[in-house]
Amino acid sequence: MGYKSLPLVSITGLIMGLVLTIQSRPTLAEFGAESWLPGMVALSLIREIAPVITALICAGKIASGIGAELGSMKVTEQIDAMEVSGINPFTYLVATRIMATTLMVPLLVIFADFIGILGGYIGVNIHDHVSLFRYFSQVFDSLNFVDLVPATVKTFFFGFFIGLIGSYKGYNAANGTESVGKAANAAVVAASLAIFIIDLLAVQITDFLFNTYN
């Protein structure tokens, strides 16, 4: 579930970092603040862009996959077969998937953070020549506890809800093959929406607790 998303997360992470750097550079250059670029890119990626984009990718790939797989199992009576043989399908099919997404999404986000920052390094070096050591020094100088921890904590919630919503939609698919597609589709839509809502709440809570954005 997680490692199969690595290629997709790598490509999107790299592009996110690269594009963000290229797009931000002219604005910072107007104020002669190009040296802020590594820090700004790292902050944007770690606080917001990498968690949300990675979670949305996971919603599209994993939530739909879970929705379709469980929906298909429901329609073909595989879940019923499990239940009548005295095995709790919730424990075997749902709990394991939720646990997997809750643990894997944060790891994917951390990976996307790193790849995105590397993308930023490539972006910075299109116009300037900055060594990798200097680039990462500037990145780490600009980061502190409240940038890393709340942003990582919210990804556990992203993962939990991606697994929960995908499982719920699949598990409750109606009969008929058409419902498998509907379950997958509904899982993506609901999980994506949930990610934005959780993100909004996380920003409010982080601001309240750490007064980060003042």
Partner 1 sequence: MVQEETNTIEASTAHDTEAIIDIHGLYKSFGEHNDVLKGIDLTVKKGENLVLLGKSGSGKSIIIKCLVGLVEPDKGEIKVFDNDILYLKESELNKIRIRIGFLFQNAALYDSMTVRENLEFPLKRHSKDLSAKEVEDAVKEVLESVGLADAIDKMPSELSGGMRKRIGLARTLILKPEIMLYDEPTTGLDTITSREISELILAIQKKNKTSSIIITHDMACAKLTGDRIAILRDGVIGVQGLYDELEKSNDEWVRSFFI
> Would you tell me which residues interact with partner 1 (CB under 8 A)?
72-73, 76-78, 80-88
Rounded Cα–Cα distance for residues 32 and 30 (Å): 6
- Structural tokens at position 9: 């997360």
Q: How far is the CB of 27 from partner 1 (least distance, A)?
A: 50
User: In the chain, which ranges are continuous DSSP H helix?
Assistant: 6-30, 37-44, 50-58, 64-75, 78-84, 89, 96-127, 132-142, 145-171, 178-210
Q: How far is the CB of 174 from partner 1 (least distance, A)?
A: 13
Write the single-letter amino acid at 10. Answer: S
Write the single-letter amino acid at 121. Answer: Y
Nearer to partner 1, 75 or 151 (CB): 75
Q: How far is the CB of 29 from partner 1 (least distance, A)?
A: 54
Nearer to partner 1, 128 or 178 (CB): 178
Nearer to partner 1, 84 or 176 (CB): 84
- Contact status, residue 207 vs residue 48, Cβ threshold 8 Å: no
Nearer to partner 1, 32 or 84 (CB): 84
Q: How far is the CB of 86 from partner 1 (least distance, A)?
A: 4
- Contact status, residue 189 vs residue 64, Cβ threshold 8 Å: no
HSE-CB at 48 with a 13 A cutoff on CA atoms is 11
Nearer to partner 1, 86 or 176 (CB): 86
Q: How far is the CB of 72 from partner 1 (least distance, A)?
A: 7
Q: Which residue, among 212, 194, 5, 42, has the nearest Cα to 118 in the 3D structure? A: 42
